[in-house]
Chains A and B, each alone.
Chain A
Amino acid sequence: MLGNKLSKSLIFSGTLVYLFLYVPLLILIVYSFNDSRVNVGWVGFTLKWYKVLFADKQLISAAINSIIIALIASTVSVILGTLAGVALHKYKVPLLSTLVMIPVAAPELLVGVSLLLFFLLINFSLGMVSITLAHIAFCLSFVTIAVKTRMHGMDDSLIDAARDLGASPVRAFFSVLIPTILPGIIAGWLMAFTLSLDDFVITFFTAGVGSSTLPLAIYSMLKMGVTPEVNAASTVIIICTLILTSIATKISPQLFK
């Protein structure tokens, strides 16, 4: 893009779009440092809401739940999604590729309700395990798509070449295929991790009583109004998401083009 002069109107409209995207987040971040109970005017700088946040046992345990669920869900979905992505690339079954996209495109509310109905139907008790399973279900699609995209850009004769030069099918898979599509796998893992960490709607339906994740905990805090503590918690989540997303973008740029 270097060397292409941007016209003034493009810079102007682009700025507006980015302001629209980021001003609300910035306000939230700024208020998390505001020394006042209400989100009205700027009173003074403080870190006390972060102290309150990290002293809140319920919130911390919800955050730990979230991280555990995100780690398990993203890792399991990365393994299954990689296998699915490779298989879908190799055996081009048209309907299956479309079906993998559906959970990504379908309204989350619908996915959440359907999972709830499903768990009730098979008499599965709701809790950490059901949340994790639900997260694996929707993360799987994202990983599969990321891996499939990467496979698409790969030269198919690489695997033939590995076999031809003496590698068994298993050896060819691990020493040539996996390293070649690794950026897609890592990007898929990071996406799955962030999505799982942030998910509210699907988690809300599959959580049951007693188990809580960070987004659920924040939601219940909101019932008493948007407190600076909520702002602080949100700021932490935004920053974590930002870091993970930029790593994913860096590792697999073509995925986000």
Chain B
Amino acid sequence: MAILELKNIVKQFADYTAVNGVSLSIEQGEFFTLLGPSGCGKTTLLRMIAGFESPDSGQILLDGKDIKGLPPEKRPLHTVFQSYALFPHMTVQDNIAFPLKMAKWNKSEIDERVREQISSVQLERFAGRYPHELSGGQRQRVAIARSLVDRPKLLLLDEPLSALDARLREHMHVELVKMQEKSGVTFVYVTHDQSEALALSSRVAVMNHGVVEQLGTPREIYSHPKTYYVADFIGKCNLLKAKVIDASGENVVLKVADSFELTINNSENKFKLGLDGWFAIRPEKIKANWDPRVEEGIANFKAKVKGYYYYGDGTLYEFLLENGTVIQCMLSNNRPHQASFFEDGDEVYISINPLAGNFLVE
């Protein structure tokens, strides 16, 4: 059963619509991510779930009950804030005990649970310290420990890693997933970092301008983006202008970037003759070779190396087509022959399999 259900949430501020009809159903135990750029409405949505804002219309059901009108302190969920919001005048121990004190637990129960919670995040040595005496990663752990201490039904995390440096952030990815699995608490995570969203989540909702553009597992979102926006926002993607030039059979033929043709499936009969759109294909799904390779259904054409970026594990090439279109192609550096490294100006043949990309209609 869904632990959290959002039904057609709308929230308007004076001059713009922050959330414009969002419906989501989040399952018990999920690591669910709201992903989008700043201003897409993800934080507003989170604040409405927490009770700091109230929706203009729509319903928020927690465990099947409408929580509209409940103030934040009455909602059985907690938030981890971007700034951690640890109380500066309290020690680690007192910070973690705060929710239990508010819930009027008795002293011995509080002590026991707090001790347990502190040891679960390996902060025993820091129990008596104040927040300003801790490192960023330690503060982060205290903030999460404090939010999980009374076993809430839901934990909301608002860009909790954005204040940490890159290495620590990666380390915290592992910790976050561990904490989530160990506690069994459903996480709703807000981030603008697409790689973080892909790495951590069981499901991702990509938001833009107050609506959910696409909802799915990280793999679905990455491999089968449904809109131009999602393809562009998640990872690197070649977005090439395409037009349906033949729709006579079960398959349709696309003219891509005014230079090559691809045949794609049209069994759902969605694509009509003359339809404009974009052919989206990830750089690593494109192949490049010294010589032409003719295969059934695969487009193979000549291109020139315009430049490349060496990333260590792979090299990102930029290929120039005759009409000036640039196609990016990520080739693994783990290929057998040194000859597979191309230099600027080299003429190569690139292959595009229509099944590796998606035709997106705006």
Binding site for B on A (CB under 8 A): 155, 157-158, 160-169, 171, 176, 179-180, 182
Contacts and interface: CB of A to CB of B under 8 A. Distances in A.
B73 A164 contact: yes
Contacts of A182: 89
B83 A168 contact: no
A163 B88 contact: no
Contacts of A155: 83, 85
B87 A160 contact: no
A167 B98 CA distance: 9
Contact of B73 (A157, A158, A167): A167
Given A157-B82, A157-B83, A180-B87, A163 B71 contact: yes
B50 A165 contact: no
Nearest to B87: A176
A147 to B, nearest CB: 16
Contacts of B88: 158, 180
Contacts of B87: 158, 161-162, 176, 179-180
Given A168-B73, A179-B89, A160 B99 contact: no
A198 to B, nearest CB: 32
What DSSP secondary structure best describes chain A's contact surface? helix
Contacts of B99: 165-166
20 contacts: A155-B83, A157-B82, A157-B85, A158-B85, A158-B87, A160-B79, A161-B79, A161-B81, A162-B87, A163-B51, A163-B52, A164-B50, A164-B72, A164-B73, A165-B78, A167-B73, A167-B98, A168-B71, A179-B89, A180-B89
A162 B150 CA distance: 14
B102 A167 contact: yes
B146 interface: yes
Contacts of A162: 87, 98
B147 interface: yes
B103 interface: yes
Contacts of B81: 157, 160-161
Contacts of A167: 73, 98, 102
A182 B52 CA distance: 25
Contacts of B71: 163, 168-169
B87 to A, nearest CB: 6
B271 to A, nearest CB: 49
A83 B83 CA distance: 25
A154 B230 CA distance: 37
A140 to B, nearest CB: 26
Given A179-B89, A180-B87, A180-B89, A164 B102 contact: no
A180 B102 CA distance: 18
Nearest to B102: A166
Most buried by A among B87, B99, B146: B87
Contacts of A165: 73, 78, 98-99, 102, 146-147
Contact of B102 (A160, A171, A179): A171
Nearest to B71: A163
A169 to B, nearest CB: 8
Most buried by B among A158, A162, A165, A171: A165
A250 to B, nearest CB: 17
B73 A160 contact: no
Contacts of B78: 164-165
State the 8 A-B residue pairs at the shortest beta-carbon distance, nearest first. A166-B102, A161-B85, A157-B85, A165-B99, A163-B72, A179-B89, A157-B81, A164-B79
Interface in B35-92: 50-52, 71-73, 78-79, 81-83, 85, 87-89
Contacts of A164: 50-52, 72-73, 78-79
Interface string B97-134: 01100110000000000000000000000000000000
Contacts of B85: 155, 157-158, 160-161
Nearest to B82: A157
A223 to B, nearest CB: 51
Contact of A160 (B72, B98, B146, B150): B72
Most buried by A among B50, B71, B88, B150: B88
